[in-house]
Structure 1
């Protein structure tokens, strides 16, 4: 998120939530570190109310925790956390692919662009860019379902953060994902009824 531009008033808490998740993903706030409402509000030029609401949302997602008289901090993440999040993500993406399958053939060009850029990022060794492009590929599939609730729930999982944590803890070889994506693209192109199952298995490869 570009913090130099003023935040839109609509969906302010959601935008702040995204800003905090990006910060955790990038290592700005490490597990166990405090997130100070006032500092975020000052940096973003907003009141503390929407920052507090964003932190409440992140607490509901188990990304932060509140401490009595100490405010919020990033939760120390465990193997169990990772083991729980990826089956949920995989199930959502399988449902998305089932809904989207008739339309995904028309999105093959966009999927191929994402995947081509992912392969290029792998060649340069840019892990952060690889991760972002991989998630963009999956977002394309989820949005193709045309189900706003499903997209909202998927986004709320903090996909980028959990993927980052998995990469850090398990040194997942994300450079191999472009090859797996290519297989999925061909399945989407021919509207293979097995494509949703294939996508589910692909996502579970990120899990510990």
Structure 2
């Protein structure tokens, strides 16, 4: 998340990859930053003019976001941000938890030998809290979990995690449905300790940790430790 272009401001130069991919990233950044709220239209022509590109890559990027269920197309009205509910976001967490449990199983030895990257993300969470930068803290939370997924060394697993838009859905959940303050560094440190100790149930700990982050859905009980 932290590597995305931060701007729909000004006119960024789109040269490093295909226009479609960069437009998609910029649209995602707009969703995550709150530029577009649930139910709000995203005007294809306006976005194209702002980025100084044709409407074709914008249209293609919107279609990709529609496959992630982030955008919906309304006949006669164009694209708009979906009106998300806690149920929408909660549905992603068992899938995410399952993928990350497998990642933790596959990457356990690697992370036991070298948990430095995880430790750096936790330290960055603490620093973000100390300067009052909640958005940066959330980015570090997601980067921590991406590091576990990448430690699996399994390209199919990484692709599956990315193609489901896990980072985006999780970020939206944190922004909209987890409003209370959480000590994220304290919540993630036990996972590092478990990897370092080579706990045999570390994958289950990761699984339960992810489920505990799921937004509360009315009429259901919160996940238990």
TM-score scaled to structure 1, two decimals? Answer: 0.89
Q: Which has the higher helix share?
A: 1
Q: Distance in 1 between matches of 2:27 and 2:160?
A: 18
Q: Who is 2:115 aligned against?
A: 108
- Choose which of 159, 173, 178 in structure 1 pairs with 2:181: 173
Q: Distance in 1 between matches of 2:113 and 2:18?
A: 31
Q: CA deviation at 1:5?
A: 4.2
The answer as to 2:93 corresponding to 1:94 is no
Q: Distance in 1 between matches of 2:141 and 2:6?
A: 21
Q: Who is 1:82 aligned against?
A: 89
Q: Who is 2:74 aligned against?
A: 67
Q: Distance in 2 between matches of 1:146 and 1:46?
A: 37
Q: CA deviation at 1:11?
A: 4.5
Q: Distance in 2 between matches of 1:52 and 1:107?
A: 43
Greater shift in the superposed pair: 156-165 or 177-186: 156-165
Where structure 2 has 5 or more consecutive residues not aligned to the other structure, the ranges are 217-225
TM-score scaled to structure 2, two decimals? Answer: 0.83
Q: Who is 1:57 aligned against?
A: 64
How many equivalent residue pairs? 207
**1:41-64 Cα distance to aligned partner (Å, 9 max, x none):** 233333222221211111111111
For the 8 Å contact 2:6–2:29, the answer to whether it is kept is no
- Choose which of 34, 39, 47 in structure 1 pairs with 2:41: 34
**1:125-177 Cα distance to aligned partner (Å, 9 max, x none):** 32111101111111111111122232223223252453333442331433x22
Q: Distance in 1 between matches of 2:74 and 2:167?
A: 25
RMSD: 2.0
